[in-house]
Amino acid sequence: EESLVIVCRFLFDIDSITKVLKEREISYCKIHGAIKAEDRQENVRQFQAGNKKIMIGQVQMLGISINLTRASKMVFYSNSYSLTDRLQAEDRINRIGSTGDHSLYIDIVAKDTVDEDIVDALRSKKEVADYLTELRFNFSC
């Protein structure tokens, strides 16, 4: 019953997911680079209105000016090494107007694959960024 955002790095991943959703007759919409800007905005509107249950987006396209607060859960089907892309994608569901009490982020990580390396790298980058932000805050006070 809940809305969900699925984040992918590759168009192949988006195509694989949409195939399964079609087979199961689950409503969805997509955002990726091959979709025209006006169509992307319409897809966001449909999702936010509750007309589509699942939004599937390419991580690079979910970064700026998109509000997906209808969902409180985001699945990262495939990640990139970019912490900026990751944090910007997370912010799509965690904003003023969010419907849930909290946001839940789920990473799909296949054992003994590059997925593990990417998630580890993202965690390390986040720790360093948080540490540097804390140092800057403490220094300026």
Q: For residues 113 and 77, what is the distance between their CA atoms, to the nearest angstrom?
A: 14
Least confident among 12-16, 50-54, 67-71, 91-95 = 91-95
**With 60 as the cut, is the pLDDT of residue 97 above it?**
no
**Adjacency order of strands within the sheet including 28-31:** 28-31, 54-58, 4-8, 73-76, 104-107
**With 60 as the cut, is the pLDDT of residue 98 above it?**
no
pLDDT in tens, 47-61: 999 999 999 999 988
Least confident among 68-72, 124-128, 137-141 = 137-141
Which of 108, 78, 81 lies closest to 11 in space, CA to CA?
78
